[in-house]
Amino acid sequence: MSEEVFRSPKKHGRIMVLLSGRGSNFMAIADAAAAGKIDAEIALVFSNKEDAPGLAAARDRGLPTLALSPKLFADKTEYDKAVVREAEARNIDLICLAGYMKVLTPDFCNAYKNRILNIHPALLPSFPGLHVQQQALDWGVRYSGCTVHFVSAEVDMGAIVLQAAVPVLHDDTADALAERILIEEHKIYPEAVKLFFDGRLEIRGRRVFIL
Ligand code: GRF
């Protein structure tokens, strides 16, 4: 069976950011776009939480925002259908999950296959899920870090684009480690988005090649 190959488009792209919290990764991407380092614009900042600080930060920057409460929908499937409709209505090329605390339905993942990125604060496939800095401390790993990956229907399992390693210190706390990892997140997430719209990401099976 021949392997499926996807090549990211070289174009001026339209990004939709999905967030639920403070939005520091969103801001790193928005800063890079505003500075012309990424050939893309933030076409929508979306949240499942009306009061997410990241949404307020987006409004302060004059970016379009939208919040939809999951409570207004019958179930996850209907909710994600609505989110996909919002993306389609705006001709979104790439969806960036940035601290979005909802698992996407398989239908959502398939609708935007190879066009959803996420950032995770660990070196995947180690420590998927939540409380990952604490997991890293509990396991006594010497290095943790962060991963930008494409999103597939399996949580935290999509093809890896970029990673950055961060040493774990002997007296680390989960918060201290998270803070040091976040510094690297803000570097590799914009870089991954840049590579995407420079047409330099090629997905072959579960591997991403940087062209
Ligand atoms: C980051 O640690 C990211 O890796 C994880 O959620 C956190 C979001 O932080 N997915 P922020 O909202 O971008 O500041």
What are the pLDDT digits (tens) for 36-85? 999 999 999 999 999 999 999 999 999 999 999 999 999 999 999 999 99
Output the six-digit token pair for 168.
Answer: 């774990």
- List alpha helices for 90-155, DSSP H: 106-111, 132-139
Instruction: Reply yes or no on whether the pLDDT at 159 is more than 90.
Output: yes
What is the rounded CA–CA span in Å between residue 108 and residue 46? Answer: 15
Instruction: Reply yes or no on whether the pLDDT at 150 is more than 60.
Output: yes
Of the chain, the end-to-end C-alpha distance in Å amounts to 24
What is the rounded CA–CA span in Å between residue 128 and residue 195? Answer: 24
Ligand 1: lining residues by beta carbon, under 6 Å: 19, 21-25, 54, 98-99, 119-121, 146, 182, 185
Beta bridge partners of 146: 164
120 assigned to active site: yes
Amino acid identity for residue 148 in this structure: V
Cβ atoms within 10 A of the Cβ of 182, count?
16
- Tell me the C-alpha to C-alpha distance, in Å, between residue 91 and each of 16, 56, 84, 209: 10, 23, 11, 26
What are the pLDDT digits (tens) for 110-130? 999 999 999 999 999 999 999
Give the total number of structural domains in the chain. 1
Catalytic hit among 12, 120, 149, 170: 120
Instruction: Give yes or no for a cis peptide into 125 (omega within 30° of 0).
Output: yes
CA-CA-CA-CA torsion for 181, 187, 189, 193, nearest 10 degrees? -170
Tell me the percentage of the chain whose pLDDT exceeds 90: 95
Ligand 1 atom index nearest CA of 182: 2
Instruction: Reply yes or no on whether the pLDDT at 2 is more than 80.
Output: no
Nearest CA to ligand 1 atom 6: 99
For residue 49, the domain's CATH number is 3.40.50.170
Q: Domain containing 69: what range? A: 5-210
Q: Which helix (H) or strand (E) holds 178?
A: helix 174-197
Residue 20, phi-psi category: left (phi > 0), alpha (psi -120 to 50), beta (remainder):
alpha
What are the pLDDT digits (tens) for 87-110? 999 999 999 999 999 999 999 999
Under a CB-based contact definition with an 8 Å cutoff, are residues 15 and 41 in contact? Answer: yes
